[in-house]
Structure 1
Amino acid sequence: MDSASERHCTEVVARERSGHTAVVEENLLCVWGGYMSIADDEVFLPNDEIWVYDLERGVWEVFHMSGEVPPSMSGTCGCSLNGHLYIFGGCDNNGQTNQIYCVDLTDGKYTWKKIKYEIGSAPSARDKLSCWVYKGKIIYFGGYGHKMLTDIDRTNRSFIVDKASWVEEIFWGWNNEVHIFDPSQASWSDPQTHGRAPDPRAAHASATVGCRGYVCGGRVMETRMSDIHCLDLESWTWSEIIPVSSIPVGRSWHTLTAVSDSSLFLFGGLSVDCKPMSDGWLLDVETKKWRELEHPFKTKPRLWHTACPGKDSDVIVFGGSCDYILLIDNSHCNDALVFQTQPYPLFRICEDYIAKNVKNYEMLRNQLSLLPPKLLTAVQRRMSFYRPSKKQQQ
C-alpha cells in the first residue's frame, strides 16, 4: 500500500459534509450528522441515517437509525466507548444544545437513546468542543455556547464573552471548562483542576495518550492559537507543552489523533489568515518536538473534518471543507484520506502488496490458494479495496 491512500471505490458514497461526527469501531468508519451547502443554504444532513465505511474492503453502506433520534446537527462532540457512539452538544436549527445521546454500533440495529442523567448537572449548551475517553468516562473540554449572565463567573475567566453576540441576559462565548460524564452512573461531575488551564477556546483539537489528555490550538475572539496543553486525568493538573522545535502555525477546525504511546498527528485546519491548510505534523510528547510529515494530500486542504485512528497507526480523515467555511459557495468533501504515520508490520505489507498486484501477475493468482487461511481471507478482503470502480474502468 502507498504511504497514504484516498478511497471511495464503490458507487454508493457518503454525502459531502462538514462539522460531522465520525468514529472507528472494529474495522468500520461510522459517520453521522454534519451539514452541506446547497445553493446559498447550509443544510443539515439527515439525523436518521449513519454511513458505515469498511476500511478493509473500501465499501460504503448506509443504515436507517431509529429510537430517540437526536436532531440534525453539526459541531457535536462524538466518541466511541464500549462499542457505543456518544454525542454531546452541537448546533441544530434552534441553536446550541447540551443533550447527550448514544447508539450501539455493534448490534446492527442503530437505535438511538437519549440519556437522562441521574446525578449532577449537564454543562451549558455548546458546540465545537472536544473530549477525551479515560477509564470508562468521557471528559469534555471547551467549546462555544451561551450562558445566562447569572451563570458567568467573572473571577476565573473560564468563559470569555463574544461581544458581537448577546441578547438581553443571554451571552455567547468561549469556555475552558472540564466536565466528566460517567455512562455507567448516568452522572455529570466537574473535577477540581490544578495548574494553569488553557485559555477558553472552541474549534480546537484533542487526543488522549495514556492518562493524559491533550488539547491543541483553536479559536477565541479573532485569535487562532498554536499552543498545546496537557491535562493529567489522574491528578487533574494542567501543564503547557513548550515545543523545542519549529511549530505548526495557529489554527482552528483541525484534528489531533494519537498514533502511538508518545506521538500525536495534527492535520489541516483554518490558519490565522483564514486559509484552509493541508499540512500534517507529528508531535513527540516526550521530546516535545514537532516534525512535519510528508504526504501526498498537499493539494487537499481540509477543515472541520474528522480524523480517526485506524489499524497500524493509520489515520483516517473524512469529509470537511476545502474552502473558508463562511464562503457562500463553500465546497465540502466526501473522500476518505488514509495517512500512514508509522512503518507497517510485515504482515500488513504482504497483505497489501498481494491484494494490489494479484490481478497483474499470473503467478500470484495461481498461488493464492497456497496462502495460510488467515492471510488468504485478509487478502481477499483487501482485493475489494483495490478493485477499480465502474467510473474508473470507463
Structure 2
Amino acid sequence: MATARASSSLAYPERFYAAAAYAGFGGSPSSAASSGAISRFQNDVALLLYGLYQQATVGPCTGPKPRAWNPVEHSKWTSWHGLGNMASAEAMRLFVKILEEEDPGWYSRVPEFTIEPIVDVEMHKPKLESAAESASPNGIPFLEPKTISAENGSVLETQDKDVIMEGLGSIGIYDQWTAPPVTGQPPKPRYEHGAAIVQDKMYVFGGNHNGRYLSDLQVLDLKSLTWSKIEAKTQTGSPESVNTVPVAPCAGHSLIAWGNKIISIAGHTKDPSETVTAKEFDPQTCTWSNLKTYGKPPISRGGQSVTLVGTTLVMFGGEDAKRSLLNDLHILDLETMTWDDIDAIGTPPSPRSDHAAACHAERYLLIFGGGSHATCFNDLHVLDLQTMEWSRPNQQGLTPEPRAGHAGVTVGDNWFIVGGGNNKSGVSETLVLNMSTLVWSVVTTVQGRVPLASEGLSLVLSTYGGEDFLVSFGGYNGRYSNEVYVLKPSHKSDVQSKMIEESVADSVAALLPTTNASRDVAPEIEAPQDGKIREIVMDNVDSEFVNMRSEEARERLVAALKTEKEELEAAVIKEQLQTLQLKQELAEAENRNAELTKELQSVRGQLAAEQSRCFKLEVDVAELRQKLQTLETLEKEVELLQRQKAASEQAALSAKQRQSSGGMWGWLAGTPPDRSDSQ
C-alpha cells in the first residue's frame, strides 16, 4: 500500500509464492520460471532456497537421510534438515530475502501466471495436498492450479465454463464473485488505476505496474466482454488543435463518469504540478482535454477519494507529492468548474490515503478505512454536506478489519466494500454497509491469492438487463492482476444489513452521531428532515420500530443519551487530567533539558580552555626541541675545537723535542742552536 504500499502491506506468504514461482519452486511447468530460473543461482544458494521452500510449505524435515550414492537428494536433505524447527513465516522471509540479495530485479521478471496456493482457512497457513503435488523439472514439487472457491463452498465460475448468454447476462449466480470469460487483448496488469462506466463500457485509465505509471486507455465492452485499446488524442488548445501526444501517465487518480464523458482528477505523476489538475475524456471523439478550473485548487495528490454528489465533486484526503498525508476537504462545482476549500466543523478523519468514500441520500459523505504510512484504519466518518459537520456514528453488526487500498460502490442504500490490505495480507471478505442503519455484514469470502483480495483494484457498478452487477478489475496482492470479476447482488434482506434485535432506544441511539449526542433529539423525531440517515431507518424496519414515538421510548432515548453524555464528559475529564499530567512531565523535562544545556555549555567552556592550554604547551615543546637541537650542534663544535687544540699542543711538543736533540748535526745542517739552553 498502500503507491508503494502494496509491496509492504501484503504479507510474506503472497510475496513468498511469487518469489517461489520465479525461482522455480511451486510454479507451473509451462512457465519460464520453473524451467530454468533456478539455474541462475549457484549450487549452495539453490540448495538453501530449496531447504527454505520445503521448511515454509511442508515444515521441519522428518524423512530419512538419503543414501550416499544419490548426492543430489543427499544435498537437498542436508539443506532442509539443517533448518531444524525454523518457523514457516521465518523460512518465507529468508527465502524472499536471499532471492532479493542474489537477484535484486527478480520481481520485474515474475511471470504473469502463478499458481494459487491451497490455503487452510482456519489456520491461515498454506499447506500441500498429496493430490495437488507433482514434480517440476528440477525435482521440486509444485502446486497444481485450483478452482477459486468461496468460503461457503460455492464455486466461482472460471473462464473455461460454457456461456449460454452473452456479456454480463451470462452471470446467473447471486452474491458470489465470478470470473467471466473475456476476449480481446487484456490490458497490462496494474493497480491504483481508475475505472468508470459510460454506455455499457468500462473504461480503465492509467495505474501502476512495477513502479511505473501508465497512461493507456482500455475499454471492456460489458455486452460482449471484449477488451480493446483506445488510441486517444489530446486537445492542446482550441477545439481544432488536436494531436496524438499521449496523456501524462498517472496512478492513484480518480475517474468519474459525468454525463457521456469521463473526468480524471488528481493522481501521482512523474513530474507533479503544484495543484490538482483535471482532464476530460470524450468517448465520441476519443479525445483528452484539460479542464480549466477557477477558485483555489487543492495541492497535487494521489490516493484521495472523489465522490460525485449532484453536480459537484467532493474530494477528501490523499497523499501529496512529498508523501505527506492529508485530511483536507474540497468541492469542485462541475457547472461553474470552481474549486471551494471547505472548513468543516467537528472532528474530521485523521490524515489518510487509499480510503473509500460514498454519498448517501445526496446529503451524507461517508469515509471508511484508509491508511497512513504505518497503520490501516477501520473507522467510519460521516460528513453532513448541508451543515458541513463531521461526526463518527456508532456502527452495528460485525467489526470490519482495518484496510487500505479497497474499493467501494453503492447500490441503493447498500455500500459494497471489496479488497484492500491490512499490512499483513489482502482482505478477502466482501462487505456491505446498509447506509440507512449503519449495519455491516459479509456478502462473501474468497480463498487463496485471488485478485479480489488486493490493494488498488477498481470497482464499478453496471446495470445490465435490469439487474445490477459489480465489476472488479486489477489490483496487487503479491503480483499485479489484469483479471475481471463480477458479482450480482441478490438484494435479499439477508444481503442488505439486518437490524440487530435490540431495544428501540438503543437502535436509534446507535444511529445518532456521537458528536450530536447532547442535542435534544425529541423535536427531530417529531419533525424529521428529508435525507437524514437516522430517518431513512423508518423505511426498512418493522411496525414496532415505526411506533417508537411513545413517551416511554422517548424517555429511554433521553436517558440513554444522558448516560452517553456523562460517559463522554467523564472521558473528557480523564483526557484533560492526562493532558495536565503530560504537560507537567513536559515542563519537568524542559527544566532538566535547560540544566543539562547549561552544564553542557560549562563543559564546553572548560574544554575550550584546556584546548588553549594544550596548544600553548605544544608551542613550548616545539621551542624546547629547537633549543635542544641547537645545544647538540654546539656540543659537537666544542668537541671539534677541543680535538683541534689537543692536536696543536701535541705538534708543538714534538717540535720542541726535535730541536733539543739536534747537536752538531743540527748545526751542520744549518739549524741554529737553541739559545735558551745556552743561557
Normalised by the shorter chain, which TM-score bucket? 0.5 to 0.7
Q: Does 1:146 align with 2:266?
A: no
Q: Whole-Å Cα distance in 1 between the matches of residues 366 and 327 of structure 2?
A: 14
- Unaligned ranges ≥5, structure 2: 4-9, 19-106, 114-157, 160-167, 236-244, 439-488, 497-679
- Unaligned ranges ≥5, structure 1: 1-16, 20-33, 148-157, 161-174, 324-329, 345-378, 387-394
Q: Does 1:336 align with 2:336?
A: no
Q: Does 1:197 align with 2:297?
A: yes
Q: Hey, what does 1:112 align to over in structure 2?
A: 227
Q: Does 1:308 align with 2:391?
A: no
Give the one of 252, 273, 296 matched to 1:159.
273
Q: Whole-Å Cα distance in 1 between the matches of residues 353 and 172 of structure 2?
A: 27
Aligned positions of 1:75-114 closer than 5 A: 75-93=192-210, 95-105=212-222, 107=223, 109-114=224-229
Q: Whole-Å Cα distance in 1 between the matches of residues 257 and 382 of structure 2?
A: 21
- Provide closer, same or farther for how the CA distance between residues 203 and 290 of structure 1 changes in structure 2, counting only shifts above 3 A: same
Deviation at 1:135, TM superposition (A): 1.8
Greater fraction helix: 2
Q: Hey, what does 1:280 align to over in structure 2?
A: 380
Q: Whole-Å Cα distance in 1 between the matches of residues 391 and 301 of structure 2?
A: 25
RMSD (Å), alpha carbons: 3.4
Q: Hey, what does 2:279 align to over in structure 1?
A: 179
Q: Does 1:245 align with 2:346?
A: yes
One-letter identity of the residue aligned with 1:159: S
> TM-score w.r.t. structure 2 length?
0.39
Q: Whole-Å Cα distance in 2 between the matches of residues 380 and 77 of structure 1?
A: 26
One-letter identity of the residue aligned with 1:248: P
Moved segments of 4+, more than 4 Å? 40-46, 52-56, 383-386
Instruction: Say whether the 8 Å CA contact 1:122–1:188 is kept in structure 2.
Output: no
Q: Hey, what does 1:263 align to over in structure 2?
A: 364
SS of the residue aligned with 1:38? Answer: helix
Greater fraction strand: 1
Instruction: Say whether the 8 Å CA contact 1:56–1:381 is kept in structure 2.
Output: no
Q: Whole-Å Cα distance in 2 between the matches of residues 260 and 56 of structure 1?
A: 29
Q: Does 1:73 align with 2:190?
A: yes
SS of the residue aligned with 2:377? Answer: strand
Deviation at 1:122, TM superposition (A): 4.4
Q: Deviations over 1:374-394 (max 9, x none)?
A: xxxxx99849969xxxxxxxx
Structure 1 window deviating more from structure 2 (282-291 vs 113-122): it is 113-122
Deviation at 1:260, TM superposition (A): 2.1
Deviation at 1:134, TM superposition (A): 1.4
- Provide closer, same or farther for how the CA distance between residues 194 and 335 of structure 1 changes in structure 2, counting only shifts above 3 A: same
- Provide closer, same or farther for how the CA distance between residues 380 and 268 of structure 1 changes in structure 2, counting only shifts above 3 A: closer
Deviation at 1:297, TM superposition (A): 4.7
- Provide closer, same or farther for how the CA distance between residues 128 and 303 of structure 1 changes in structure 2, counting only shifts above 3 A: same
Q: Which has the higher contact order (CA 8 A, sep 6+)?
A: 1
One-letter identity of the residue aligned with 1:138: I
The sequence identity of aligned pairs, in percent, is 22
Q: Does 1:61 align with 2:178?
A: yes
Q: Deviations over 1:215-234 (max 9, x none)?
A: 11001113111111011111
Deviation at 1:176, TM superposition (A): 1.4
Q: Whole-Å Cα distance in 1 between the matches of residues 112 and 177 of structure 2?
A: 17
Deviation at 1:200, TM superposition (A): 0.7
Deviation at 1:187, TM superposition (A): 1.2
Deviation at 1:63, TM superposition (A): 1.4
> TM-score w.r.t. structure 1 length?
0.65
Deviation at 1:286, TM superposition (A): 1.7
